[in-house]
Amino acid sequence: YFDTVSLAPADPILSLTEAFKADKNPEKINLSVGVFVDQSGVTPILETVKEAERRILEASTSKSYLPMTGTPAYASLTQKLCFGEEIAESLQGKVTSLQTPGGTGALRVAADFIAKNTSAQTIWLSNPTWANHKGIFGAPGLKLGTYDYFDSANLSLDYDAFLKSLESIPAGDVVVLHGCCHNPTGVDLTPEQWEDVAKIAAAKKWIPLVDFAYQGFGDGIVEDAAAARIVAKAGLPAFVCQSFSKNLGLYQDRVGALHVITDDASNLANVVSQLKISVRVNYSNPPAHGGAIVTTILSDEKLTEQWHAELKAMRDRIASVRTQFVDALKAAGVEKDFTFLTQQKGMFSFTGLGKEQATALREEHSVYIVDSGRINVAGITDSNIDRVVAAIKAVL
Catalytic residue positions, numbered? 130, 211, 246
Instruction: 193-196: list long-range contacts, CB under 8 Å, 24+ apart.
Output: 193/159, 194/226, 194/227, 194/230, 194/231, 195/230, 196/163
Residues 1-20, one symbol each (x = binds ligand LMR by CB under 6 A, - = not), give: ------------x-------
For ligand LMR, which is the closer residue by CB, 78 or 183? Answer: 183
- Return the number of the residue (17 or 156) whose C-beta is nearest ligand LMR: 17
In the complex, minimum distance from the CB of residue 347 to ligand LMR, in angstroms, rounded to a whole number: 8
How many residues comprise the chain? 396
Nearer to ligand LMR, 197 or 375 (CB): 375
Q: Which is nearer to ligand LMR, 296 or 372 (CB)?
A: 372
Instruction: Name the residue number minimizing CB distance to ligand LMR.
Output: 34
Examine residue 105 and tell whether it contacts ligand LMR (CB under 6 A): no
Site for ligand LMR in 128-187 (CB under 6 A): 130, 132, 183
Q: DSSP states of 69-132 as a string? A: T--HHHHHHHHHHHH-HHHHHHHTTTEEEEEESHHHHHHHHHHHHHHHHS---EEEEEES--HH
Least Cβ distance, residue 13 to ligand LMR (angstroms): 4
Q: What's the min distance (Å) between Cβ of 218 and ligand LMR?
A: 15
Q: Is the dihedral of CA 216, 41, 129, 261 positive or negative?
A: negative
Residues contacting ligand LMR: total by CB under 6 A: 6
Judge contact between 380 and 321, C-beta under 8 A.
yes
Contact (CB, 8 A) for 262 and 84: no
By beta-carbon proximity to ligand LMR, the closer residue of 34 and 101 is 34
Whole-number Å distance between alpha carbons of 232 and 198: 9
Q: Which is nearer to ligand LMR, 254 or 322 (CB)?
A: 254
Task: Quote the least distance from Cβ 217 to ligand LMR, whole Å.
Answer: 11
**β pairing state of 348-350 and 374-376:** antiparallel
Q: Provide the greatest CA pair distance for the chain.
A: 63
- CB count, 10 Å around CB of 230? 23
Cα 259–Cα 112–Cα 198 angle in degrees, nearest 5:
45
The two beta strands, 207-212 and 238-243, are parallel
Q: Is 34 in the site for ligand LMR (CB under 6 A)?
A: yes
- Kindly state the smallest distance separating residue 129's Cβ from ligand LMR, in Å: 10
Q: Give the shortest CB-300-to-ligand LMR separation in angstroms.
A: 28
List the one residue from 16, 31, 33, 297 that touches ligand LMR (CB under 6 A): 33
> Could you tell me the smallest distance in angstroms from the CB atom of residue 74 to ligand LMR?
21
Judged by CB under 6 A, does residue 83 bind ligand LMR?
A: no
Judged by beta carbon, residue 135 or residue 172, the one nearer ligand LMR is 135
Is the bond preceding residue 208 a cis peptide, omega within 30 degrees? no
| Burial readout 360-370 (b: 16 or more C-beta within 10 A, e: otherwise) | bbbeebbbbbb
Report whether 106 contacts 100 (CB < 8 A). Answer: yes
Which positions touch ligand LMR (CB under 6 A)? 13, 33-34, 130, 132, 183
